[in-house]
Amino acid sequence: MTNSKIPGIEGLRRCFLEPPREFGPTPFFALNDELDHGRIRSALALLADRGCAGVFLHPRSGMTVPYLSEEFFAAIGAAVETCADLGLKAWLYDDYNWPSGSAGMILLRDRPDLRQRGLEYLHPEVRPGEELRLPGPAVAAFDLGGNLTNLHDCLDTDHFRAPPKLRGRPVIFYLSDMNDHTFAARCAPWSPGVDGCLDYLNPEGAAAFITRTHEEYTRRFGSHFGKTIPGVFTDEPQLYRAFPWTGRLPEEFKARRGYDLLDRLHLLVTERGDWRAFRCDFYSLIEELCVESFFSPLRRWCDEHGLLLTGHLGQEEMIARHSVNHGGVFRPLRAMSMPGVDALGSGDPVNGRLFNMERPFFGPRAAAAAARAGGSTRVLCEAGGGAGWEASPSTLKRQCDWLFASGVNFITPHHSLLSIKGLRKRDFPPSHFRQEPWFERYRRHAEYIARLSWLLSLGEPAVEAAVIFPTSTVRADERGRGNGRGGFDYYLESILSFLAGSQREFELVFEEEAVEGLARAEGDAFVIGGRQAPLVVIPPCHTLGRAMAAEVAKFLDAGGRALGFDTLPGRDEKDQDLDGLLLPAFRRALASGRAAQVLGHSGISSETLTSALDQILPPDTRIVSGPGRGVLTHRRRLPSAEICFIANLENRPVELDLSFARPKARLEIWDPTETIARPWTWQKQEGDRGLVQLDLHGGESVVLVWSDEGKSSEETLTPAEGGRAPEAIVALPAEAAVTKSPPLPLVLMPEWELEPAGPNVLLIEPWRLKTASVPLPPPEEYRNDIHFPPRARRIISLGRGLARAVAPLRPLERRASTIRYVDAAEMERGSVFVQRRAGIDLDRWGVYEGIDAITRLGENLGLFPLTRGFPPPGAEYEAAASFTLDFIPDDLTLVFEDLGEPTRLWLNGRELTGECLTDVGWDPACRGFAVSTLVKKGRNRLRIKSRQPDWPGLAPSLPALEPVAIYGTFALADRTVVRPQPGPAAGGNFTERGYRFYSGAMTMRCRFELPADYLGFDLWLELGEVREVASARLNGRDAGTRVHPPFNFDVTEMARAGANELEVRVYNSAANLLGRPQPSGILSAIRVAAFAPEGE
């Protein structure tokens, strides 16, 4: 939206309260089952009802319909037509699973020449004359001892013979096919059985990919392009080996850089001569080829067909891997119409639990910088993938708040699963769909996303600082995947973290932008994409592109301001001296007081940075009192107003005094979680600054809006459905007299009566399992595996020896449980454990190569349930378990999953036959038997014979024993059915009151006495800690719904003196059934708080 079309303050307020639907969440819609058209239509209707703006039609793990078949396209057509009818946007996802480019491996099956290859190297200790067999075709070799010697003549296909006069250890480069198991090659019965990834440096690859996928969509759905279908998502294209390579690379290098590549290849791993210039030449060419060969063809195709190209790169957030993954990230991201990033896990930079975000203050802002350079007002984030079944709207909101404060304004929740049968339930949950109990109230969460996505797409950021990203330093520091980190990424992230935690509005500026005229000096302003920054931050680095260095020097000499560190860039991308350009200009600015230099960047303190920055540029926003590091802000300028989004990422409440530059007469506070916009009061105004007081609950966010236009007013579209208590909404004038003091909050520890919305659950486990044995791989495999260092080989040898020794003693059955998904952050901790214990350097290998290495390690040790699922694909198995009943209700149902394989069940020795019950359990694939007449008090025995589907998965989406459960009206004591549903009792954690495995809605009722002296005040019911979502009714009247904290409800009009009846409906998460049981319900005391009515 251009500034001329942004409404005035009244229009802004109205749109905020009723945000345009197109700004709501747009989840991945996982097409992961049989693709029944009726089921797809009903699922899309439900997503529309819950406030989604659209979906990405995502062919995904578990899809049984062959990818790109006519049956597949018929299902896509049904989805597109349904979206058109519902007013949803139907975005296309350009492949089956990820990484994009292989057309579900069909392309690589038919064109193996398009498979990605990479360059690897060895640095072995060899004797003169010794022959060494290489893991792949030889490329180049060098003797690094003494004066460098070219050993290309010692190479023969895949062999190296050391010369008679070898002065030192050689470095030998060879080619390695990217044939790792990826999600694009697994988790579906129709998979072609090939592995690998597309060569993104070969233009033939993108052309063939577009022909196989995009043109097929055009042929069938072109009439919807630019309307119901707005664009295409491309997912995680990336180069995966130690160094990027493609067959034409030597010729392209000679043509574009003017010298021979192979003769200097050793400079990728050694610092000799002009190594810095060579690496910059090498990786800049890789970036050029990536863009020319893959991203630009996709963008051109989208432009020609009226579509947007969006998506994200593989590991764009990992600064130290930019060079080997893409050559650089700026130009690939800018090639997208709407650049994006992904944030896996449920965390944020303050609370942790982020899976992939190694540098969380960099990733989203890199995408925002690319969007600015490309003229896009929207920045996408694929958010929350792998957070686990225990994720909730509260944790997801805190993550979104961080993203909103970092420049993101298009939220793509990961994901909405059509099915969770079999391995699908372990496909990086949660699911923003009916599997999560809290999804019933999801619309409130969707409206929060829509409000902020819309508002933070308007106007321009109030930029205080442009932080230079020296791509040349990152390239020069690169010594191959997992090697030679120069520390720059750590220092940059520390600076960005400080700026964000100090509420400084900043933007990243890539050095490439100066080359293209997108970043330049205009007097004492540094202009980036039309935005003027008064300050440039030069992070500690040794190399900076000459064009950017010249613009920064020009800016400083014209009166601009800068913050530098003890390492200022002294070399350019050609390894030429910058001392006569940037450093003199910086010293002159330093002498005139317009620059500050912070020394000792390895241990920079916040106090030192704050003092240095304040000397040269007072902040636009400052927390005068109160904790600040966990409070993030994002400030934007609009024609009619200035806005500041403020988010408390802490888990505790904070009391803040905030000082803002450029205050206006009219001040309002807007609550993005509610349909409320209210007047606010400047506590003090002095000169060009205004002081505001705010109390924010843990995880709460608000928007402050100030303007000289119009009149501040209070607007509420619906009766206030809970939220912040009045003392946090209205600041009364100092002279206002309060004639009556409210009483202290009434603290209640009630006895809660519980009424579940559905049957309770007893999950049956553990199991005794019999299945086909899986032989250990031959010992030659691990002995010759280059991924296993000596320590790993010793561990495998000892483990295999122990396995052989105990084999005669091992029972035929083994103990097994259902595999529960653990969140992505925990998986990452597990991989670190493997690295430390087995000595496998996962940083040295690509992500899928690392997964494969862990899998092979487990298989060589016989740890099959941890590495590839158990029972294995296609295996027949027999499983036995028992459960205990002290009480037998008349509605017991045994629930299991029908995976399409022959299955027989016996209960207490009697085979269960006849018509199965449907419409039971956690998925449409669940089936059931009524068993109240077949069970007995005490121990009951269950036996199952079945067969695993014969297609493989990939961790964590692995085949396993799936849940089997008893449903009915009962309560549990540990794992025993002991009694009917419990009566009223103290304690609001219903997980501990007999509902350990229950995932669903629970109605909780209690009674309390309210003294008469509370009447006449504004009364708020404060539920405290709720897991996860709550709706409240008092005395039969609706008090509203809260999906995010604080769980406060205005009950002024419904409370009465004496006896009151409270009913709270709490929705927990799916973790109790599908993951690790979590506390559920109301976990704290509740309060009734009284406040003086507004205006008194």
How long a stretch of residues is the chain? 1096
CATH code (residue 566) = 3.40.50
- Pairing state of beta strands 231-235 and 308-312? parallel
Q: What is the residue type of 965?
A: A
Tokens of 104: 């579900």
Same domain, 679 and 644: yes
Q: Between these two residues, 649 and 791, which has the higher pLDDT value? A: 649
Our measurement of the distance from residue 275's CA atom to the centroid of its chain's CA atoms, rounded to an integer in Å, reads 36
pLDDT digits (tens, 9 = 90+) for 416-462: 999 999 999 999 999 999 999 999 999 999 999 999 999 999 999 99
**What is the pLDDT at residue 575?**
96
| Burial degree of 84 (CB within 10 A; 0-12, 13-18, 19+) | middle
| Burial degree of 832 (CB within 10 A; 0-12, 13-18, 19+) | exposed
* Domain end point (choices 177, 197, 216): 177
Same domain, 787 and 846: yes
pLDDT band at 840 (very low <50, low <70, confident <90, very high): confident
**What is the pLDDT at residue 725?**
47
Same domain, 481 and 539: yes
Please tell me whether residue 720 adopts helix, strand or coil conformation: coil
Q: Between these two residues, 825 and 128, which has the higher pLDDT value? A: 128
* Domain end point (choices 933, 968, 1003): 968
Q: Between these two residues, 934 and 1093, which has the higher pLDDT value? A: 934
User: Does a structural domain hold residue 975?
Assistant: no
Same domain, 681 and 826: no
**What is the pLDDT at residue 74?**
99
| Contact criterion met (CB below 8 Å) for 421 and 32 | no
* Residue of 922, 1017, 988 whose CA lies nearest to 433: 922
User: Does a structural domain hold residue 577?
Assistant: yes
CATH code (residue 684) = 2.60.40.1180
Tokens of 493: 């992230």
pLDDT band at 867 (very low <50, low <70, confident <90, very high): low
Q: Which of 283-292, 470-479, 604-613 has the lowest mean pLDDT?
A: 604-613
Same domain, 807 and 945: yes
Provide DSSP, 452-472. HHHHTTSSEE---EEEEE-HH
Q: Which of 44-53, 101-110, 147-156, 202-211 has the lowest mean pLDDT?
A: 147-156
Examine residue 1046 and say whether the peptide bond preceding it is cis (omega within 30 degrees of 0). yes
Same domain, 1023 and 932: no
Same domain, 952 and 1001: no
* Residue of 730, 744, 733 whose CA lies nearest to 1019: 744
Q: Between these two residues, 732 and 404, which has the higher pLDDT value? A: 404
Q: Does pLDDT of 713 surpass 60?
A: no
**What's the number of domains the chain is made of?**
5
**What is the pLDDT at residue 692?**
94
Same domain, 936 and 994: no
**What is the pLDDT at residue 442?**
98
Q: Does pLDDT of 865 surpass 60?
A: no
Q: Does pLDDT of 72 surpass 80?
A: yes
> Taking the alpha carbons of 955, 960, 962, 963 in that order, is the dihedral positive or negative?
negative
Tokens of 821: 């998904």
Q: Between these two residues, 664 and 111, which has the higher pLDDT value? A: 111
Provide DSSP, 643-692. EEEEEE-SSS-EEEEEEEES--SEEEEEETTTTEEEE---SEEETTEEEE
User: Does a structural domain hold residue 506?
Assistant: yes
Find the distance separating the first CA and the last CA of the chain, reported in whole Å.
42
User: Does a structural domain hold residue 448?
Assistant: no
Q: Between these two residues, 82 and 144, which has the higher pLDDT value? A: 82
User: Does a structural domain hold residue 143?
Assistant: yes
Spatial CB neighbours of 634, under 8 Å, sequence gap ≥ 6: 404, 405, 406, 407, 456, 461, 505, 644, 645
Mean pLDDT of all residues in 777-804: 75
| Contact criterion met (CB below 8 Å) for 450 and 952 | no
Tokens of 686: 């002095």
| Contact criterion met (CB below 8 Å) for 726 and 1094 | yes
pLDDT band at 602 (very low <50, low <70, confident <90, very high): low
Q: How far apart are CA 107 and CA 184, in angstroms?
A: 11
Tokens of 844: 């040295």
What mean pLDDT, rounded, does the chain reach?
91
pLDDT digits (tens, 9 = 90+) for 923-933: 999 999 999 99
| Contact criterion met (CB below 8 Å) for 877 and 946 | yes
* Domain end point (choices 130, 145, 177): 177
Q: Which of 219-223, 897-901, 953-957 has the lowest mean pLDDT?
A: 953-957
Same domain, 891 and 831: yes
pLDDT band at 727 (very low <50, low <70, confident <90, very high): very low
Mean pLDDT of all residues in 818-844: 69
* Residue showing tokens 């010697």: 149
**What is the pLDDT at residue 864?**
56
Q: Determine the structural domain holding residue 144 and report its residue range.
A: 117-177
Q: What is the residue type of 821?
A: Y
* Residue showing tokens 């406040």: 1091
Calculated CA dihedral for residues 86, 91, 97, 100, nearest 10 degrees: 170
Q: Does pLDDT of 122 surpass 70?
A: yes
Mean pLDDT of all residues in 839-857: 72
* Residue showing tokens 């079999």: 422
Mean pLDDT of all residues in 1061-1071: 99
Our measurement of the distance from residue 775's CA atom to the centroid of its chain's CA atoms, rounded to an integer in Å, reads 37
How far, CA to CA in Å, does 947 sit from each of 774, 899, 962? 15, 9, 12
For residue 426, the 8-state DSSP code is: G
For residue 293, the 8-state DSSP code is: I
Q: Does pLDDT of 1026 surpass 50?
A: yes
Angle, helices 249-257/275-290, rounded to nearest 10 degrees:
110
Q: Between these two residues, 1035 and 684, which has the higher pLDDT value? A: 1035
User: Does a structural domain hold residue 669?
Assistant: yes
Same domain, 647 and 685: yes
Q: Does pLDDT of 730 surpass 60?
A: no
User: Does a structural domain hold residue 342?
Assistant: no
* Residue of 120, 116, 48 whose CA lies nearest to 86: 48
For residue 1041, the 8-state DSSP code is: E
| Contact criterion met (CB below 8 Å) for 760 and 970 | yes
pLDDT band at 809 (very low <50, low <70, confident <90, very high): low
Q: How far apart are CA 93 and CA 55, in angstroms?
A: 10
Percent of the chain with pLDDT over 70: 91
Same domain, 957 and 999: no
Same domain, 943 and 800: yes
- Pairing state of beta strands 676-679 and 715-716? antiparallel
Mean pLDDT of all residues in 84-90: 99
Our measurement of the distance from residue 1094's CA atom to the centroid of its chain's CA atoms, rounded to an integer in Å, reads 42
User: Does a structural domain hold residue 571?
Assistant: yes
**What is the pLDDT at residue 723?**
47
